[in-house]
Amino acid sequence: MKEAMLYEKLEDNRVRCNLCNHRCLIADGERGICGVRENRNGTLYSLVYGKAIATHIDPIEKKPLFNFLPGTLSYSIATQGCNFRCKFCQNWEISQGLRGEGEAKGDDISPEEIVKEAKSSGCKSIAYTYTEPTIFFEYAYDIARIAKREGLRNVFVTNGFMTEEALREIQPYLDAANVDLKGFTEKFYKEICGARLEPILNNLKLMKELGIWVEVTTLIIPTLNDSVNELRQVAEFIRDELGKETPWHLSKFHPDYMMKDLPPTPIDTIHKARKIGLEAGLRYVYAGNLPGDSGENTYCYSCGELLIDRYLFSINENRIKDSKCPKCGAKIDGFGL
């Protein structure tokens, strides 16, 4: 165990966790919503520090990040736990597997060992992913500081529900983030995810202000967040608040966890959403989970030239030269960071 960061001690041995926007008030002997932060005699501890439940070497495109270090490998890690309760979670065995009682599972791997393995594997970055990196913040923070010194980049794949304090704390070491913007209504977030939308929108804007490279992902779920109006709202928010240079990834839903009764997302819906994003003026709108689809590729926003030809998470050809389109010379956002 490790004493938690970003919490305050209160009367009667209670504590307030200030890591995510639930800001859990935790009584002595209890845990927060994430299930991995426990109050013991008035001191808040992380139960998952150094407990890696998953470590993999992934293409950076799998995060997904398409405009940041394309074609490179990212050392990906996770612990148990999550501060959301998404009914459609695809990693629910590890994200939801530590509620109430029980010890954290995982391999004991120190921050120093993580960085050493990442470098020896030829990775250019470390991705904190699979579950929510906010809930293993202390572990991610210590790894990220070492990684930065060793010349590696740090990437969060996140639901974006951290507090402003947490985001500012990690900012000096965080280079990029893919943020799930799961829907665009408070009703969706409350009923489907057990969270709130507004803090995520605020954090997205703050990330951009802090100079973190941001890409946004929306998992399109039939009947829940796939209306033309809602998709247009997401596209316009990205354009107006984050900038037209911010990539938007549109992922295909498949039934899992507590949502096995809904059908997979029709391919036409992904194409419709991509058209909405492009018509709104976004420069890079990507179709996810559709191997071989032209929407996987990167095109020049100025002249339409094919710049990166992809198949799923692999790159067949990258024609970008010095971060520019070889045909018209337009600077391609994200490249060269």
CB neighbours of 110 closer than 8 A, spacing ≥ 6?
50
Q: What is the pLDDT of residues 31-54, one digit of tens each?
A: 999 999 999 999 999 999 999 999
> What pLDDT, on a 0 to 100 scale, did the predictor assign at position 35?
93
Q: What is the pLDDT of residues 259-307, one digit of tens each?
A: 999 999 999 999 999 999 999 999 999 999 899 999 999 999 999 999 9
How much is the mean pLDDT over the chain?
96
Token pair belonging to 78: 């996770």
Give the mean model confidence (pLDDT) for residues 52-58. 97
> What pLDDT, on a 0 to 100 scale, did the predictor assign at position 100?
60
User: Nearest Cα to 124, choosing from 64, 53, 68, 178?
Assistant: 68
pLDDT tops 80 at residue 86: yes
Residue 325: C-alpha distances to residues 34, 66, 236, 335 (Å): 44, 16, 25, 11
Whole-number Å distance between alpha carbons of 17 and 24: 5
**DSSP structural state of residue 186:** H
CB neighbours of 27 closer than 8 A, spacing ≥ 6?
12, 13, 14, 39
**DSSP structural state of residue 79:** -
Prediction pTM value: 0.96
Which segments of the chain belong to CATH 3.20.20.70?
51-296
> What pLDDT, on a 0 to 100 scale, did the predictor assign at position 138?
98
CA angle 284, 291, 227 (to 5 degrees): 60
Residue 263: C-alpha distances to residues 54, 252, 273, 274 (Å): 29, 11, 17, 20
CA atoms within 13 A on the CB side of 236: 7
| Domain formed by 51-296, architecture | Alpha-Beta Barrel (3.20)
Q: What is the pLDDT of residues 167-185, one digit of tens each?
A: 999 999 999 999 999 999 9
At residue 10 the predicted structure's pLDDT band, cuts being 50, 70 and 90, is very high
> What pLDDT, on a 0 to 100 scale, did the predictor assign at position 101?
65
> pLDDT above 70 covers what percent of the chain?
99
